[in-house]
């Protein structure tokens, strides 16, 4: 239950937030981050991601059977706006419900008018809920989503247990001018 924070003990949690392609195209990033900062939670990770079909389908796998699934995948991949999202990990006491409250209900027309989705969301003629942001629903989903979108090294502190593995990889560095003077 979203509004029962005071009835139980506070819990340190994580939440994955995505500023979706409509949010980026409409230059809402600053406004959204300001609204989210009212929660006083800590940002543990942030990056721009170009969403592949594979990532989109994995993220929304629980909705695969829905009639709106294909449109939802196109939307999150940026087919209708820009081909990127801003992915963020928030961390702190009761992060999940605090963020969901600021974000508002899934259907932007039913969302609290002062919530992010209520203010900036819309339903398209194709029936897509362009609701500007994603926010994790519960702890299990948050863990699944954060592990899907982020590598341990991309977060400012270790949230979930990690393990070491040796990998051979090509890394890119900024090119330096090696010409002699």
The only residue of 17, 36, 72, 146 in contact with ligand DAT, by rule CB under 6 A = 72
Q: Residue 22 or residue 41: which is nearer to ligand DAT going by CB?
A: 22
DSSP letters for 23-40: HHHTT-HHHHHHHHHTT-
Instruction: Give CA–CA dist 28/22, Å, rounded.
Output: 8
C-beta of residue 43 within 8 angstroms of C-beta of residue 88:
yes
Q: Which does 98 bind (CB under 5 to 8 A by kind): ligand DAT, Mg ion, none?
A: none
Q: Which does 72 bind (CB under 5 to 8 A by kind): Mg ion, ligand DAT, none?
A: ligand DAT
Q: Residue 15 or residue 131: which is nearer to ligand DAT going by CB?
A: 131
Q: First and final CA of the chain: distance in angstroms? A: 68
Our finding on whether 129 is near ligand DAT (CB under 6 A) is: yes
Tokens matching residue 123? 């339903």
Residue 9 CB, nearest distance to ligand DAT (Å)? 24
The answer to whether residue 134 is catalytic is yes
Cβ neighbours for 106, distance < 8 A, ≥ 6 positions apart: 117, 129, 131
Q: Residue 71 or residue 137: which is nearer to Mg ion going by CB?
A: 137
Binding footprint of ligand DAT, residue count (CB under 6 A): 9
The only residue of 57, 93, 137, 154 in contact with ligand DAT, by rule CB under 6 A = 137
Tokens matching residue 12? 């340190």
C-beta of residue 135 within 8 angstroms of C-beta of residue 17:
yes
Compute how many other C-beta atoms are within 10 angstroms of the C-beta atom of residue 94. 18
Residue 127 CB, nearest distance to ligand DAT (Å)? 6
The binding site for ligand DAT (CB under 6 A) comprises 63, 68, 72, 106, 127, 129, 131, 134, 137
Active site amino acids = 134
């Amino acid at each position: 239950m979203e509004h029962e924070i005071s009835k139980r003990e506070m819990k340190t949690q994580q939440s994955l937030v995505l500023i979706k392609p409509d949010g980026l195209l409409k230059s809402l990033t600053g406004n959204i981050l300001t609204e989210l900062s009212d929660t006083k939670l800590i940002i543990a990770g942030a990056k721009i991601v170009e969403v592949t079909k594979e990532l989109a389908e994995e993220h929304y796998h629980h909705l695969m059977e829905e009639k709106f699934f294909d449109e939802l995948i196109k939307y999150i991949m940026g087919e209708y706006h820009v081909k990127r999202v801003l992915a963020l990990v928030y961390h702190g006491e009761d992060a999940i419900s605090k963020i969901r409250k600021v974000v508002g209900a899934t259907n932007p027309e039913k969302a609290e008018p002062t919530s992010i989705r209520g203010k900036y969301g819309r339903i398209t003629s194709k029936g897509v809920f362009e609701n500007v942001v994603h926010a994790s629903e519960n702890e299990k989903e948050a863990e699944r989503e954060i592990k899907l979108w982020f590598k341990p090294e991309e977060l400012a502190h270790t949230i979930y247990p990690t393990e070491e593995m040796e990998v051979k990889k090509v890394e890119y560095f900024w090119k330096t001018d090696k010409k002699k003077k």
